[in-house]
Amino acid sequence: MDGIIPINKERGMTSHDVVAKVRGILRTKKVGHSGTLDPSVDGVLPVCVGRATKVVDYLMRFGKTYQGSITLGLATTTEDLDGEVVERHPLSKPLTDAQIDAALKQMTGELTQIPPMYSAVKVNGRKLYEYARAGETVERPKRKIQVYQFKQIRPTEFDEEKGEQTIYFEVQCGKGTYVRTLAVDFGRQFGLPAVMSDLTRTSSGGFELKECVTLAELEQARDEDRVESDVLHPIDHALAKFEAIEITDSEWQLVQNGGFLKRALTEPVVAVKYKGKIQALYQYDESRQVYRPEKMLLVR
């Protein structure tokens, strides 16, 4: 069984938990996910099965969309509501829509982000959350991220008694973006502590939430012998952004052995198809003026 299953991950589960469950349901070991979701976040988690594990990196190039909320007036150790509150600064009055919209717009384009201490980013061979749990601090690497759109999606709410304001947003971003940190950085523009108070991933890897199945639905599909017909998406889905070329029988013999292809094409990377299925990705080699293998899939 080779393909991609978009799972609607429940809250309270890690992405690794989901992979373990899928392995058990499908009775196969070769399973991996595309883009980690924190336990407190639900939504789209593309899971790759069999040879599809080879295209995880390509799925991540599609970008992601999230809907959630930012609450101003408090800060936590984890930048979300799972952590310990470390600062409170009650608002005397709420931000206006104009202020919010301008600040969100300011946070689009290419940004520099420092990942949160409670994250799986590795520094000196250890994950940042391991340092955090041990009460240690370490210099965190800066990274470039892309935020394509950041906007309000419903009216903001102000709790006058607590002095907290909640802003409801949608963000479209590239891989490696920590939305928790976007929430904190939003508050920083106004000199206010902030947390990400809710988050759902609504798209990832080219899949929308409405296309996803729960683990229970996957189990039912397995029992009814319709996983491959109703739930499993072809590996080709992950490579849809590449120009596809159909090769001949003789070229297929070359591809199977990692041979070069001579084609007059303009794209730097192409998806090589044989009998209607993508078998490999080939990259143009300027020095040899041929296409050489970049990623072999060899789906039969």
Strands (E), the chain: 3-9, 31-33, 42-49, 64-72, 74-76, 85-88, 109-113, 122-123, 126-127, 143-159, 164-173, 194-204, 207-208, 243-246, 269-274, 277-285, 290-296
Rg (CA), the chain: 22
Residue type present at position 27: R
- Phi and psi of 219, rounded to 5°? -65, -40
Which residue matches tokens 């029992």? Answer: 223
Side-chain-facing half-sphere of 191: CA atoms under 13 Å: 1
Cα dihedral sign, 212-216-221-227: positive
- Please state, in angstroms and rounded to a whole number, the distance separating the CA atoms of residues 291 and 288: 8
- What residues are annotated to the active site? 38
Strands (E), 50-84: 64-72, 74-76
- Phi and psi of 243, rounded to 5°? -65, 130
Is 13 in contact with 60 (CB distance < 8 Å)?
no
Query: Which residue from 281, 284, 223 is spatially nearest to 51, judged by alpha carbons?
Result: 281
**List of residues 6+ apart from 199 with CB closer than 8 A:** 38, 40, 41, 43, 66, 67, 68, 69, 80, 179, 180
Cα dihedral sign, 42-44-46-47: positive
Three-state secondary-structure class, residue 235? helix
